[in-house]
Amino acid sequence: MKKITFAFFLLAFVPHVWGQSANKRVLLYSRAARYYHESIPDGVKAIQKLGSENHIDVDSITDSLYFTDANLKKYAAIIFLNTSGNPLNAEHKRAVERFIRAGGGFVGIHCAAATFNRLPSGTEPAWPWYFQLLGAAFTNHPAPQPAVFEVTDRNDPSTRHLPARWNRTEELYNFKDIQPDIHVVLKVDESTYKGGENGVSHPMAWYHEFDGGRSFYTALGHFPEAYADTEFMKHLLGGIQYAMGKNVVLKYKK
């Protein structure tokens, strides 16, 4: 009887421990080396709350020193929240590349598409590999204004909760070097605002696999109010979950 009781104790206790230790972990990076978005603090708090509600541990940083192989292998995905300028040095960039090649995930939010966009000379991208990972590069944007977004994938977790035509005010990015393999889940109707430069298929959120890993990007998230918007946060959660995939702790190839 004692042996049976002890066995039931183990069965009750061990899954609880495993459930806690199996939480996926993401690294949230929000260093602004150039333009600072006032929405960054709201975004950090909202993503941390999103994590706590969905069994995701969120480590928020602004220091690039955390971008090492030893540290990154603990994470299922990296999130760039309105990063700007060139916030990683060459060594840290290589660590990110190895992380993705080991099967890691990446999420870019809004200004992440402008990060590493130009060298100080303004002549060429500071990190071409990054824009292939991201899926496109920012060129410019008109003044923030209302527009209508169109869901292009009704089955994707990041958009299936949204109306087919979604009205919202945003800073609407134009893009170049749009990668042909990206799967667009949300686009913007250029006929509903002024300043669009990508035509009838103007992407605003997408995902793809790249160089061994997975990448999700959304151009939304300029304003602080976005991070109090349930629909936007569900959109972001779907993207984060895609990027994380089945990762818990990465295993690097030797």
C-beta of residue 192 within 8 angstroms of C-beta of residue 148? yes
pTM: 0.89
Q: What is the mean pLDDT of the chain?
A: 90
d(CA 187, CA 156): 14
pLDDT in tens, 109-139: 999 999 998 866 555 688 999 999 999 999 9
d(CA 158, CA 168): 16
User: To the nearest 5 percent, what fractions of the chain are helix, strand and coil?
Assistant: 35, 25, 40
d(CA 114, CA 213): 21
d(CA 197, CA 199): 6
**Taking residues 236-243, what's their average pLDDT?**
97
pLDDT in tens, 89-104: 999 999 999 999 999 9
